[in-house]
Amino acid sequence: MVADRASQTSTGPLAGVRVVEFAGIGPGPFACMMLADMGAEVVTLDRIGAKRNLKAIAARGRKWVHVDLKNDQSKGELIELLSGADALIEGFRPGVMERLGLGPDVVLTRNPRLVYGRMTGWGQHGPLADAAGHDINYISITGALAAIGTRKSPIPPLNLVGDFGGGALYLLVGVLAALIEARKSGKGQVVDAAMCDGAASLMTMFFDMSAAGDWVEGREQNMLDGGAHFYGVFECACGNFVSIGSIEPQFYALLRQHAGLLDPDFDDQMNRAAWPTLKQKLAAVLKTKTRQEWCEIMEGTDVCFAPVLTMTEASRHEHMVSREVFFARHGVLQPAPAPRFSRTPSRVREPEEMPLAAVVGSWRDRR
């Protein structure tokens, strides 16, 4: 229930894990939101005077602390806080933490078990390490952006591939793996999570397909990039869209059955040369009915079909409602924690602002 998700009780699988986050934007906060959802105690450090919207989705579940890193007393308290932490997350350019006197060499000396998570776009070393950039730049040099879009040009896939897929989630995997190892060895380590590394890793399947001769470089020419007539997005009579993913022969047969594709040209499903023509023919058929009409015909079948929904529509879809995939907090619609745990469920806790000294004292009491 939504009320349970708003509980201040930490019940997730990471309950008892202490994380210090240096405030940033994008993938770092998203990763720490997930850690907090899963029960970790996340303390976010922000500069004095910084304005924070604690109702923001990515801010949920944290303790927020304002700290002056130029103040020796505050810096000393911060070092003590890090001495009791399991993990640190920072997303500054390489060298910034070192200049603050909080680099791995300093912090790991005080707390040898600490996992030091570093989130950047280009990584901690390399010719571009010190350059500014954004998601679109990081996925550009991996081959990912060149493969996404229309024949005419690449299209940025939101910030899903670089910031969150190749960034935040790889940071999470690295930090959690290092935490598990630290419990065995008693030693922490630095996790260098670079979005260009993660985005490249996400392309593994397509490098594999390329090596096997099943992928050509060029958009809308392959099975999974919009080139195939049986895997793509099509406009309906109402102006809305549906998605078709009928790859396997049995699913393709159902697509033909439900869409009435009797034309024998559809028999040769994997004939690449015929894909452009067959795509036009299928598009013409799907344009004859509204999205709702196609949902009534295909949704829930093995055609591999789904309506293309807006974020608002998605929150109202019966499947998403039944699984409580979305909920509202402070009037803000947002995704619920994922993944799900059978015994130690995640919870969304309210953020709270606290003095640094209070958090230090709390952690000291529980050592």
Which of 46, 134, 192, 302 is the catalytic position? 134
Query: Is position 197 annotated as part of the catalytic site?
Result: no
- For residue 244, give the DSSP letter: E
Residue spans of beta strands (DSSP E) within the chain = 18-22, 41-47, 62-67, 87-90, 115-120, 189-194, 231-235, 241-245, 305-308, 326-329, 332-335, 352-353
Can you tell me the distance from the alpha carbon of 69 to that of 106, in angstroms, rounded to the nearest whole number? 15
Can you tell me the distance from the alpha carbon of 215 to that of 280, in angstroms, rounded to the nearest whole number? 22
Contacts of 190 (CB under 8 A, 6+ apart): 104, 116, 118, 124
Q: Is 175 helix (H, G, I), strand (E, B) or coil?
A: helix
- For residue 90, give the DSSP letter: E
Closest to 223 in 3D by CA, of 246, 201, 243: 246
User: Judging by beta carbons within 10 Å of its beta carbon (0-12, 13-18, 19+), is residue 194 exposed, middle or buried?
Assistant: buried
Distances in whole angstroms, Cα of residue 352 to Cα of each of 39, 46, 59, 61, 211: 15, 13, 10, 8, 51
| In contact, 74 and 68? CB cutoff 8 Å | yes
Can you tell me the distance from the alpha carbon of 61 to that of 58, in angstroms, rounded to the nearest whole number? 9
Amino acid identity at 58:
A
Can you tell me the distance from the alpha carbon of 85 to that of 104, in angstroms, rounded to the nearest whole number? 13
Which of 37, 86, 135, 163 is the catalytic position? 163
Copy the structure tokens of residue 295.
């949902």
Can you tell me the distance from the alpha carbon of 225 to that of 275, in angstroms, rounded to the nearest whole number? 12
Query: Is position 105 annotated as part of the catalytic site?
Result: no
The catalytic residues are 134, 163
